[in-house]
């Protein structure tokens, strides 16, 4: 079985790799043009289950990031060396293991639901356990959490968009893949 498999867009799943654009934490494309979404097969199966669960509720998913090369992780660690939000590149990221995915829910028309903050908003307002968010935002975050947990992922407390396989640290860090190359600094 291959270490990584490509995750294609499907009915109910849109791929929008944010790090291939300038609209991210780095303010520039970090992934080279042609970057493809990829995960380990175990994580891909969980994502398939999440898509089915979202579709049963009349919703869809957008993937913002999945497998991430170590060189990209190093870029993010240099920009924001805060382990609440970014894994130390020297220790590796669960994205670099190919078992983490950053996602959001969409309505039936493909419009992202309001999650209270944007993706990559590295502030307390992005944490799951917030009492100061409007009820519709709370509901949307809880729906995403339910979909992803039911599919077999686990969450982290600081990012409403980040989900990973349980026992993620048991997976080896992966070398750079041709599916996602990093733009040199």
Check residue 175 and report its DSSP letter.
Answer: P
User: Alpha-carbon distance 38 to 53, whole Å?
Assistant: 20
Looking at 3.30.420.10, 3.30.1380.10, 3.30.1330.50, 2.60.40.1180, the CATH number of the domain 5-170 comes to 3.30.1380.10
Structure confidence by residue, pLDDT tens digits, 34-89: 999 999 999 999 999 999 999 999 999 999 999 999 999 999 999 988 888 888 88
Structure confidence by residue, pLDDT tens digits, 101-116: 999 999 999 999 999 9
Q: Name the catalytic one among 48, 159, 170, 176.
A: 159
164 catalytic residue (yes or no)? no
CA 176 to chain CA centroid, Å, is: 18
Domain boundaries along the sequence of the chain: 5-170
pTM: 0.95
DSSP 55-106: HHTT-EEEEEE----HHHHHHHHHH---TTTS--TTT--TTTTT-EEEEEEE
User: Alpha-carbon distance 61 to 127, whole Å?
Assistant: 20
Work out the percent of the chain whose per-residue pLDDT is above 70: 99
User: Alpha-carbon distance 1 to 77, whole Å?
Assistant: 31
């Amino acid at each position: 079985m291959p270490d990584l498999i490509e995750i294609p867009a499907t009915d109910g799943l849109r791929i929008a790799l944010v790090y291939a654009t300038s609209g991210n934490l780095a303010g520039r494309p970090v992934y080279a043009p042609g970057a493809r979404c990829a995960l380990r097969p175990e994580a891909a199966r969980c994502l398939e289950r999440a898509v089915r669960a979202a579709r049963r509720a009349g919703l869809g998913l957008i993937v913002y990031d999945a497998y991430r090369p170590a060189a990209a992780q190093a870029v993010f660690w240099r920009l924001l060396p805060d382990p609440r939000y970014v894994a130390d590149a020297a220790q590796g990221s669960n994205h670099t293991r190919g078992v983490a995915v950053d996602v959001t829910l969409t309505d039936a028309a493909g419009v992202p639901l309001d999650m209270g903050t944007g993706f990559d908003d590295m502030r307390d307002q992005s944490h799951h356990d917030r009492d100061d968010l409007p009820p519709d935002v709370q509901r949307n975050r809880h729906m995403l959490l339910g979909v992803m947990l039911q599919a077999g992922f686990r969450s982290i407390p600081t990012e409403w968009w980040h989900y990973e396989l349980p026992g993620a640290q048991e997976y080896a860090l992966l070398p750079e893949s041709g599916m996602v190359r990093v733009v040199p600094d």
